Structures are given as structure tokens and as C-alpha cells.
């Protein structure tokens, strides 16, 4: 009975030590940053671009488009296509034929859209 108790205590102690946090100051993999977390400063369609498009473009570029708008801008795919094939970045920066037609959107919004495109259109 005494041997069983010693084995149980030894096993519990080994388990507890194996599960404890290591205080390792040698820079081992346990101390490396977790690269699974996305960059909180990275632009995304859902968080950054969609609200800009919603507030500046979809009144005409909705689904379906109205006021003679040639395309819808209601999804990431459609916005990306408009940037890649229809010159959306140039159009939102045009002072002679601005989009939206009532005047250019804020410079910050236009810059964010261009940066998002340069980052590869993250979702």
C-alpha cells in the first residue's frame, strides 16, 4: 500500500511539473511570438473597405446598379474587379470626372482603398 501511495504521489508530481509554465530565458520556441495572430493594422475588405464603399458608392453601384452606373460594387470580388479592370482607383481620384459624382470622397478613404489593393485585397 505504501508503494502504491509513493508511486501515485510521484506520478502526480511529475504530471504537475510537466504542465507548469517554464521560466526559460534562453529564447526557445516557447518564447517566440505567435505568428497565427493577424496583423491588427492590416487593412481588410470587411473592416475597412466595405464601409467606405457602402457609404460612398452603393447608392448608385448597388445590386442592381442605378443612375447609369456600369457595375455593382457590393462585394469584395466586384470591388477587386473594378480596381483591376475598370480603373476604380483612378476614378475615385479624378478631379475632372470624380466618383462619387458629387465630389471626391475623403483623401483618407481613397488612400485606404489604394493601400488595400496594394496589400493584395485581404478579406
Tell me the three cell numbers of residue 117: 489593393
HSE-CB at 25 with a 13 A cutoff on CA atoms is 0
pLDDT tens, residue by residue, 53-106: 999 999 999 999 999 999 999 999 999 999 999 999 999 999 999 999 999 999
36 falls within a domain: no
Provide the domain count of the chain.
1
22 falls within a domain: no
60 falls within a domain: yes
| Residue 3, number of CB atoms within 10 A of its CB | 7
103 falls within a domain: yes
CB-based contact 24:30 (threshold 8 Å) = yes
55 to 23, 27, 89: CA distances (angstroms): 51, 47, 16
90 falls within a domain: yes
2 falls within a domain: no
33 falls within a domain: no
Give the per-residue pLDDT at 103. Answer: 93
- Residue-range definition of the domain harbouring residue 87: 45-118
pTM over 0.85: no
24 falls within a domain: no
Cα-atom radius of gyration of the chain, to the nearest Å? 27
pLDDT tens, residue by residue, 10-33: 655 555 555 555 555 555 455 554
Tell me which of 35 and 47 has the higher pLDDT.
47
What is the rounded CA–CA span in Å between residue 103 and residue 98?
Answer: 6
Amino acid at each position: 500500500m505504501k508503494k502504491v501511495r509513493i508511486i501515485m504521489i510521484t506520478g502526480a508530481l511529475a504530471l504537475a511539473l510537466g504542465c507548469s509554465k517554464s521560466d526559460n530565458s534562453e529564447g526557445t520556441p516557447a518564447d517566440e511570438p505567435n505568428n497565427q495572430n493577424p496583423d491588427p493594422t492590416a487593412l481588410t475588405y470587411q473592416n475597412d473597405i466595405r464601409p467606405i464603399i457602402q457609404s460612398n458608392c452603393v447608392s448608385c453601384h448597388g445590386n442592381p446598379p442605378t443612375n447609369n452606373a456600369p457595375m455593382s460594387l457590393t462585394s469584395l470580388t466586384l470591388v477587386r474587379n473594378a480596381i483591376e479592370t475598370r480603373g476604380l482607383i483612378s476614378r475615385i481620384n479624378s478631379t475632372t470626372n470624380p466618383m462619387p459624382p458629387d465630389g471626391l470622397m475623403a483623401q483618407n478613404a481613397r488612400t485606404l482603398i489604394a493601400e488595400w489593393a496594394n496589400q493584395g485585397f485581404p478579406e
